[in-house]
């Protein structure tokens, strides 16, 4: 998993609440466990019409938001099913930070396990950042070490993040990689068990 330390990027505003995981990545794109290539299905029904033509009014189809690494969006983002393809698709598209008032619980946890930083902030702060994100070439800096967001107007906003999640992102550790940092202790435990209870070996 790629480590997340700092991100300097434009932010795409999606001023909608209750965007569920089926809207993030529709079910027809779930036929693979490969992470690469899922960006084509990200927000598919928002980005394309019934004929597969790009919708010019959707924010991620607009030229000034091409390459945006941050989303500023509404409450309860990522609600619905637990599909891990949702954070995979976001990452494949280049989005590694999502700022919202609240998230679906499973999606929130899945983000950290896949290298995305989800940031929860009060609605009034979201409204301000959403307004600034609408500016031409507006850039934000997310600093996970200091837990701050520097906005285009020069303001700095602090955010909370669970210490274990922060550590995992800073070091680029998913659950398996984090477990392997204890490899020596695990090996010692296995050896002791083999000695003390050989019938279980």
Rounded distance between C-alpha atoms, residue 29 and residue 151, angstroms: 34
Position 188 in a domain: no
Q: Which residues of 36-65 are buried (b: 16+ CB within 10 A; e: fewer)?
A: eebbebbbbebbbeeeeeeeeebbbeeeeb
CB-based burial label for 142 (10 Å; 0-12, 13-18, 19+): buried
Rounded distance between C-alpha atoms, residue 56 and residue 18, angstroms: 22
CB-based burial label for 192 (10 Å; 0-12, 13-18, 19+): exposed
DSSP, collapsed to helix, strand or coil, labels residue 136 as coil
Position 189 in a domain: no
Position 49 in a domain: yes
Q: What angle do CA 140, 110, 71 make, to 5 degrees?
A: 25
Position 199 in a domain: no
Number of folded domains that form the chain: 1
Contact, 96 vs 116, CB < 8 A? yes
CA dist 196 → 67, 151, 184, 190, 192 (Å): 57, 59, 18, 10, 6
pLDDT tens column, 4-53? 999 999 999 999 999 999 999 999 999 888 888 999 999 999 999 999 99
Mean pLDDT of 61-81: 95
Cα of 178 vs its chain's centroid, Å: 19
Position 106 in a domain: yes
Position 140 in a domain: yes
Position 182 in a domain: no
pLDDT of 196: 80
pLDDT of 186: 67
pLDDT of 177: 59
Q: Is the pLDDT of residue 75 over 70?
A: yes
pLDDT tens column, 130-140? 999 997 768 99
Q: What is the pTM of this model?
A: 0.87
pLDDT tens column, 171-199? 997 765 566 565 676 667 676 777 787 77
Identify the CA nearest to 87 among candidates 169, 164, 157, 177: 169
pLDDT of 135: 77
Position 78 in a domain: yes
pLDDT of 72: 98
Q: Where in the sequence is the domain holding 11, given as residue range(s)?
A: 6-173
* Phi, psi values for residue 87, rounded to 5°: -65, -30
pLDDT of 176: 58
Q: 33 or 66, which is more confident?
A: 66
Q: How many CB atoms lie within 10 A of CB 187?
A: 10
Q: What is the CATH number of the domain that holds 146?
A: 3.20.19.10
Rounded distance between C-alpha atoms, residue 138 and residue 140, angstroms: 7
Mean pLDDT of 55-62: 95
């Amino acid at each position: 998993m790629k480590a997340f330390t700092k991100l300097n990027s434009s932010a795409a505003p999606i001023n909608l609440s209750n965007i569920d995981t089926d809207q993030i990545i529709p079910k027809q794109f779930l036929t693979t466990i490969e992470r690469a290539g899922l960006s084509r299905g990200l927000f598919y029904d928002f980005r394309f019409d019934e004929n597969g033509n790009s919708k010019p009014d959707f924010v991620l189809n607009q030229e000034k938001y091409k390459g945006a690494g941050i989303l500023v969006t509404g409450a309860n983002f990522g609600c619905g099913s637990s599909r891990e393809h949702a954070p995979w698709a976001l990452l494949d598209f280049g989005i590694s930070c999502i700022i919202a008032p609240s998230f679906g619980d499973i999606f929130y946890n899945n983000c950290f396990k896949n290298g995305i930083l989800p940031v929860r902030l009060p609605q009034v702060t979201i409204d301000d950042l959403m307004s600034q994100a609408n500016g031409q070439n507006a850039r934000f800096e997310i600093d996970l070490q200091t837990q701050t967001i520097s906005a285009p107007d020069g303001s700095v906003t602090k955010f909370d993040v669970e210490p274990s999640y922060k550590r995992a992102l800073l070091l680029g550790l998913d659950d398996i990689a984090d477990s392997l940092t204890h490899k020596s202790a695990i090996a010692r435990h296995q050896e002791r068990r083999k000695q003390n209870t050989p019938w279980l070996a």
